[in-house]
Each structure stands twice: as structure tokens, then as C-alpha cells.
Amino acid sequence: MTGYRLKNVIKSHHPMVFFHDNLDLLTSHFKILYIYRHPIDTLRSYWRLIDKVGWVEGPKGLSFDSFIKAPPLGYCMRYHMEQLPSMFHRWYYHVGPWLDIASKNEAVMAVRYESLDDQFEDTLHQIGRFLCTSPSNVIRPNRTKNVIMPDVDQQDRQAYQVSHQTVLFLKKIAGDLLNRLNYDLDIR
């Protein structure tokens, strides 16, 4: 972004609870961009990553449907203040509090991941306004190239099936938040 020197950039996967006691101090020095994504897409991506890495990041060797309902374990626990009942609960307890803070604190902006895809330039300009700058030389990344784990097969839709019981489980936990975000639970 032209004319803007990024000095204090921090990237984190931590839920808001990690920052809660120091949020006023943080937002007096930083602007926080919180990017959230549809839970099925988030968990699908994480499921593929966990099965490919050579360490125990989380529950491995499960169907996608079972992974969603499995309790967190392994190194993914470094992002928790307490044990959560399922991998889906991780998404829910991460997204909800950050969105609540973003609605109350002008130094925190929530960005819908899908908007970065569907409305790339408009979303970048909104982010630019939030950061008091404007993007220039905007080049959209190739949306079909997997640069994180290029050997991962993203075409096996059968592996991504979510049972009706799992959809009910997700709605019971986060129905209000899913509705607020206008996220349906159809297989995407």
C-alpha cells in the first residue's frame, strides 16, 4: 500500500480471549484485521493440513465429518485457554468473540474471507480506508493455485461429505452466528 510503512505487523491465529486483558493497549498502537471464513471451508482446509504434516497438530486419520466433531488435541492446543469439545467449537469460539469486538472497537476490522475472493478490489479498498491508505498496483492472486500445500488434492468432494447429523450438531452450537454471517451449511 503506497505511502504506508508497515511497522507493527503481527500475525496470529489466537482467539480474542488471548488479547482480551490487553485489547485497549493493543488497539491504541495497532489496527487489527480479523479475517474469518465459512466454517466448512476453514475446517476442510485445516483437516487437509493436519493430515499432511509430520507432527500431531490435531486429530488425524479421521473422515472430514468425524474431524469436525473430534476434540482438539496435539499442537493446535497452543491456541486454547481451555479444552474445547470439538474442532467446530474452536471455529465458533474464535469467530464470535472477534466479531463482537470488531462491532464495538473502531481499531478492529472484521473481513469476510469470501469477500476477498468475490469482491477482491472493493474489499482491498475497504481495508485501505481502515488503514488510512489506499492500495495501488492491485494484483489479484491466482485463486486456483494452492501455494501452501500444492500437492493436496482439492477435487475429492466425496471426502468432504458432512452428514445430516453433523449439520444439526453445527446448527445447535452456532446457528445464531451462522445466520448472522449468512453462512449456510450446504457442502461447498
Task: Report the CATH number at residue 37.
Answer: 3.40.50
Residue 6 lies inside a defined structural domain of this protein: no
Residue 188 lies inside a defined structural domain of this protein: no
Write the Ramachandran bin of 74: left for phi over 0, alpha for psi from -120 to 50, otherwise beta: left
Which CA distances in Å does 108 have to 27, 35, 73, 79, 101? 8, 11, 30, 20, 7
Domain count of the fold of the chain: 1
Residue 146 lies inside a defined structural domain of this protein: yes
The confidence band for 141, taking pLDDT boundaries of 50, 70 and 90, is confident
Residue 3 lies inside a defined structural domain of this protein: no
Residue 1 lies inside a defined structural domain of this protein: no
| Residue type, position 60, single letter | K
CB-based contact 90:84 (threshold 8 Å): yes
Compute CA 160 distance to the chain's CA centroid, rounded to the nearest angstrom: 18
pLDDT recorded at residue 30: 86
The Cα 113–Cα 38 span in angstroms is 8
The confidence band for 2, taking pLDDT boundaries of 50, 70 and 90, is very low
CB-based contact 166:68 (threshold 8 Å): yes
SS3 assignment, position 110 = strand
Q: Which domain holds residue 144?
A: 16-180
Average pLDDT, the chain: 86
CB-based contact 158:77 (threshold 8 Å): no
Strands 108-112 and 32-36: parallel
Choose the weakest-confidence range: 17-26, 63-72, 92-101: 17-26
Q: For 34-73, write each residue's pLDDT tens digit.
A: 999 999 999 998 998 998 899 999 999 999 999 999 999 9
- Evaluate the CA torsion angle 68, 69, 74, 76 in order and state its sign: positive
pLDDT recorded at residue 132: 86
Residue 27 lies inside a defined structural domain of this protein: yes
pLDDT recorded at residue 124: 92
Residue 83 lies inside a defined structural domain of this protein: yes
Beta-bridge partner residues of 111:
35
Residue 8 lies inside a defined structural domain of this protein: no
pTM score, two decimals?
0.85
